[in-house]
Amino acid sequence: MTSTAIRSPHAAAAIGAGLTALTLAACGGGADAETDAAVEASPTSGGAATFAVDSPFYGFDPNVTPAAQDARVLRQMFDSLLYLDADGELQPWLATEWSVSEDGLTYDFTLREDVTFWDDTPFDAEALCFNLDRIVDPDVGSIYAIGLVGPYDSCSVVEEFTAQVQMSAPFAPFLNNLTSPFLGMNSPTAAAEADPADYLIEPTGSGPFEFVSYTPQDRIELVRNEDYAWAPGNADHEGPAHLEELTFQIISDATVRMGSLRSGDVQGIGNVPETEIAAVEADTSLVVTAQQQSGAPYQLHLNADGIFADVAVRQAARAALDIDSAVEALYFGAYERAWGPLAPTTIGYDPAVENAFSFDADEAASLLESAGWVEGPDGVRTRDGEELTIRYIEGSPNREKRQDLATFFEANLEAVGFDVEVTFAATAELQTVLQEGEYDIAGLSLVAVDPNVLYQMYDPRFIPVPGQTGFNMSHTDEQSVTDLAAQSQQLTYGPERDAVVAELQADVVENARSIAIYVPTYTLATNGLTGLRFDAEGYPIFYDAYLTGN
């Protein structure tokens, strides 16, 4: 639905909270083949690569833009203070050391001393403070990064390469959020000189690829930063990037995008159509990689302020859905089915939710019977003269075939006696319906690296109301859930927090507050290009990539 990174073109990338580790999920033999190739061939330096994306960009000021599409480019141009390794542990990047005070309000950072931006401005404590202050400056108009710094209060330069950040309230996700491309470091010289609107389309960072030009609706061209010597520790090499030139081109039509990849016009594409994945895997010249998104998988949220107030009706609806068949039939194995409110690659994911329920139309029927909903003459159940009618809203255009899922589930639900009204609405109308609560079922997936996303989905503060978007689309307002969510946000990382997060996941599944359907997966295919990696949020990293001359 509305809200996430990949879903609508301008949609938010990682939502509010934090970032967490992801593992690389291979799709079929694709990623393995790529790994093998990387081991066998020694990287060649030079050459130009073009990567085709499916929708336009909004801008390239990490402090301002909210779009996941932009982040794929930002990651190549901007460095972050920290990064998350494959185990979800924080590792040094532009910051060499960091610490948090007991009360969670003061953060100390020691910075690398050899980093310069493309315009030769040195990166130091002053630059860090400039960036953080800039994010909260109303004139800059930050849309997304401002959420990542949470209750940021101030930043002070302690020494040339030591800075201290003050928060007005504890904010556990802050360090993880610092790994996001949206908190990449801008050159204070360039950012201060330019008007924010101009800087948005001509930014200056310190990353391995420098901005060259941007043609709206068409492409952004980058060139290798020859001075780059501060790659993060998980990179495969040091020094400048292998590729000399890197272009991101917009090719919105999936068929044309695939054709351009096959013909060699472009060396990589994002968003491989599900129907093409098998064909791409069979083609030995192409390599397909699938990266599961962390955060919340695609879920159907059951609005508890209505017919779904009764937990038995919610459980009945869930038992009625043949999720395995729907996911298999629509995505051809490209997406895995999901089980709980967190995607498997999210920190704190508890596999105990898997197989906790199953497709069982008979059970659905008996649950409804015992809740007083008896079958009427036309197959629709009624109780005290009221029909078992539900409104199912899904976004338009048909992102990731979510409308097809709706049609599939409509048949499932009607088979056990629900009367389902399905509506497909474009972003603006969808937002209105959601804010006014005029629905019983609504779909949502969220990109996030931190399980804090649970807090955003099940804390009553985030129930959408007119004029305010919110992700608590199940209208969950249970004190026990609210308490758990609050704890999970304030506890620091560790077993204690994991236990709370597991308890939350179990509660959501047990009470069928939302029904997890599939794990959104970013698919990418390459032709003659190898060495791509992914960051914790699933954004591709081109620093280690090189041409193999297919």
Binding footprint of another protein on the chain (CB under 8 A): 2-4, 7-13, 15-17, 56, 58-59, 64, 66-67, 138, 141-144, 146-147, 196-197, 200-201, 215-218, 249-253, 255-256, 259-260, 262-263, 265, 426-433, 435, 456, 467-469, 471
- Closer by beta carbon to another protein, 7 or else 533: 7
Q: Cβ neighbours of residue 550 under 8 Å, at least 6 residues apart? A: 264, 285, 527, 528
Strands (E), 366-502: 374-375, 381-383, 386-387, 389-396, 419-426, 441-447
- Closer by beta carbon to another protein, 16 or else 184: 16
Q: Cβ neighbours of residue 507 under 8 Å, at least 6 residues apart? A: 480, 481, 484, 513
Instruction: State in angstroms the smallest separation of the CB of 15 from another protein.
Output: 6
- Closer by beta carbon to another protein, 253 or else 328: 253
What would the two tokens of residue 478 be? 């249970």
- Closer by beta carbon to another protein, 193 or else 386: 193
Instruction: State in angstroms the smallest separation of the CB of 329 from another protein.
Output: 25
Instruction: State in angstroms the smallest separation of the CB of 305 from another protein.
Output: 20
Which residue bears the tokens 């319906």?
A: 433
Instruction: State in angstroms the smallest separation of the CB of 430 from another protein.
Output: 8
- Closer by beta carbon to another protein, 173 or else 417: 173
The Cα 303–Cα 262 span in angstroms is 45
The Cα 381–Cα 374 span in angstroms is 5
Instruction: State in angstroms the smallest separation of the CB of 486 from another protein.
Output: 16
- Closer by beta carbon to another protein, 94 or else 457: 457
The answer to whether 402 touches 268, Cβ cutoff 8 Å, is: no
- Closer by beta carbon to another protein, 208 or else 297: 297
Instruction: State in angstroms the smallest separation of the CB of 390 from another protein.
Output: 21
Closest Cα to residue 530, out of 539, 514, 541, 516? 541
The Cα 182–Cα 453 span in angstroms is 17
The Cα 280–Cα 287 span in angstroms is 7
E strand or H helix that includes residue 100: strand 95-100
Specify the 3-state DSSP secondary structure of 37: helix
Instruction: State in angstroms the smallest separation of the CB of 172 from another protein.
Output: 15
The Cα 317–Cα 312 span in angstroms is 9
**β-strands 152-159, 162-167: how paired?**
antiparallel
Instruction: State in angstroms the smallest separation of the CB of 263 from another protein.
Output: 5
Closest Cα to residue 524, out of 286, 343, 314, 333? 286
The Cα 239–Cα 229 span in angstroms is 5
- Closer by beta carbon to another protein, 121 or else 456: 456
- Closer by beta carbon to another protein, 20 or else 206: 20
Instruction: State in angstroms the smallest separation of the CB of 253 from another protein.
Output: 5
